[in-house]
């Protein structure tokens, strides 16, 4: 049996609040992180046979290496999909929770407005339903009547305002419910995307591990050597272009912190979907490193490539992120001297590697507006003390250092300081020239002004 339109039952408020609470509870379940992947245990006797197998050739191992690279790259792409879906579900969960809170508060506000409107209607009812003319005739004081009529009009306006606010609140509640339903559907889609990406990751990693498990120990060692050789060749080709000669950028203060965090994780294992503190995937490492420096960046390597400011490779500085492969499926952090730190792939740990050891798609900068920090290589404390002692012992050596910029090769360590010293010496000489010139002008007698001027100038020139 339905309820007549416009009739409000006591269950309406309870129903909306119950729905809001149920939404929050359901979101908690749906948005929970996926189960961590555990690689299937390899066959204890892979490829075992009674007769010894023929040794694997380098060509066969290189083919295995390329196949492994393909599988792990596919797993990396799927990991980016998983991380992106995880990020979206977290955002959608937060939006649903916020909408549920708005629904509860909106319902409370609507109930309050209805109570106020009911009180206003009751007050009007108690005033009677007589027309204004009758009230005027029955009133003992016309002024009281006019004042009362004014209050009635104010009450009517207030009631009208309450009704309008009630209508707007009801419309807001309806929109909140509609938005929550839309976010709920997106959350469901995100959950399915996460599950699909997880299955893809597990499938690719399992295939790669199976392929590796079929190799004998000696072949595995040779395979690792081939991987290292391929990376070294790629790095050598990158360096042979002279690119490192053009890379002179200095890290910013935040960049230093990000590099310090990332390099402190060296040795920790790769784990897809992980962002520390015990393990990382490639973009988990870079995003957490910059978060530790006080700057949030996108979670995935593809989002980092799309959203962060791009810079030329020759302009990169420590802390910048190097994006690899055409699909932006891998990322590392440049640390200087042609080196980057990254979380490579399953079965490997966070490590340093050549910045050009993989195909570079481009470079992005998390802090484009920041300036490089000064004093990146300050002299050590003992060196500073030695320099001061030498200056105090021999004024002659200090003067020679100021004039020539060479005091046992130390002046070259701080050219800015040397330049300032030279400028200071020039200014002192100029002031001395001016003083001597003034003195010459005062003692030159009463000759012609032109001669006095010449005499003063010559005197100043000699003094300098």
Catalytic positions, please?
282, 330, 342
Other beta carbons within 10 Å of 282: 26
For 363, phi and psi rounded to 5 degrees?
-125, 140
Q: DSSP string covering 84-113, please?
A: HHHHHHHHHHHHHHHHHHHHHHHHHHHHHH
Q: How far apart are CA 242 and CA 84, in angstroms?
A: 37
Q: How far is CA 313 from the centre of its chain?
A: 20
Q: How far apart are CA 283 and CA 330, in angstroms?
A: 7
Q: How far apart are CA 368 and CA 312, in angstroms?
A: 12
Q: In what order do the strands lie in the sheet with 309-311?
A: 309-311, 360-365, 321-324, 330-336, 339-342, 351-354
Is there a contact between 204 and 72 (Cβ–Cβ < 8 Å)?
Answer: yes
Q: How far apart are CA 407 and CA 314, in angstroms?
A: 34
Burial class (CB in 10 A: 0-12, 13-18, 19+), 334: buried
Is there a contact between 159 and 120 (Cβ–Cβ < 8 Å)?
Answer: yes
Q: What angle do CA 231, 282, 196 make, to 5 degrees?
A: 115
Residues 6+ apart with CB under 8 A from 85: 190, 191, 193, 194, 197
Is there a contact between 464 and 458 (Cβ–Cβ < 8 Å)?
Answer: no
What is the crossing angle of helices 11-30 and 58-126, to 10°? 170
Is there a contact between 353 and 230 (Cβ–Cβ < 8 Å)?
Answer: no
Do you know the residue count of the chain? 464
Is there a contact between 201 and 272 (Cβ–Cβ < 8 Å)?
Answer: yes
For 342, phi and psi rounded to 5 degrees?
-155, 165
């Amino acid at each position: 049996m339905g309820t007549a339109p416009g009739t409000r039952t006591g269950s309406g408020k309870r129903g909306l609040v119950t729905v809001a609470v149920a939404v929050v509870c359901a979101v908690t379940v749906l948005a929970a992180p996926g189960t961590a992947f555990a690689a299937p245990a390899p066959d204890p006797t892979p490829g075992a046979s009674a007769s010894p197998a023929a040794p694997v050739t380098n060509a066969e191992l290189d083919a295995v290496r390329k196949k492994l690279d393909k599988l792990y790259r596919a797993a990396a792409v799927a990991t980016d999909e998983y991380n992106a879906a995880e990020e979206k579900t977290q955002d959608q969960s937060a939006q649903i929770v916020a909408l549920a809170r708005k629904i509860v508060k909106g319902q409370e506000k609507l109930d309050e407005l209805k109570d106020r409107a009911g009180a206003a209607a009751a007050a009007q009812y108690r005033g009677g339903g007589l027309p204004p003319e009758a009230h005027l005739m029955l009133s003992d004081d016309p002024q009281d009547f006019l004042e009362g009529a004014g209050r009635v009009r104010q009450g009517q306006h207030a009631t009208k305002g309450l009704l309008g606010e009630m209508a707007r609140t009801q419309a807001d509640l309806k929109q909140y419910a509609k938005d929550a339903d839309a976010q709920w559907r997106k959350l469901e889609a995100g959950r399915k995307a996460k599950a699909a990406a997880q299955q893809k990751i597990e499938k690719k990693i399992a295939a790669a591990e199976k392929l590796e498990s079929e190799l004998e120990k000696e072949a595995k060692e040779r395979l690792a050597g081939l991987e290292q050789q391929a990376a070294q060749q790629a790095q050598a080709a990158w360096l042979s272009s002279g690119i490192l000669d053009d890379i002179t950028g200095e890290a910013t203060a935040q960049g230093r912190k990000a590099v310090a965090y990332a390099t402190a994780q060296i040795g920790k294992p790769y784990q897809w979907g992980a962002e520390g503190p015990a393990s990382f995937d490639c973009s988990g490492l870079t995003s957490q490193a910059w978060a530790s420096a006080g700057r949030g960046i996108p979670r995935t390597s593809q989002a980092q490539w799309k959203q962060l400011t791009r810079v030329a490779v020759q302009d990169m500085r420590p802390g910048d992120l190097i994006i690899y492969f055409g699909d932006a499926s891998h990322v590392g952090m440049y640390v200087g001297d042609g080196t980057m730190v990254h979380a490579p792939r399953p079965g490997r740990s966070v490590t340093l590697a050549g910045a050009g050891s993989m195909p570079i798609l481009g470079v992005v900068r998390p802090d484009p507006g920041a300036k490089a920090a000064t004093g990146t290589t300050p002299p050590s404390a003992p060196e500073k003390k030695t320099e001061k002692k030498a200056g105090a012992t021999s004024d002659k050596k200090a003067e020679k250092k100021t004039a020539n910029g060479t005091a046992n090769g130390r002046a070259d360590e701080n050219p800015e300081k040397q330049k300032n010293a030279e400028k200071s010496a020039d200014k002192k000489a100029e002031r001395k020239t001016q003083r001597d010139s003034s003195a010459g002008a005062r003692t030159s007698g009463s000759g012609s002004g032109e001669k006095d001027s010449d005499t003063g100038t010559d005197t100043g020139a000699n003094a300098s």
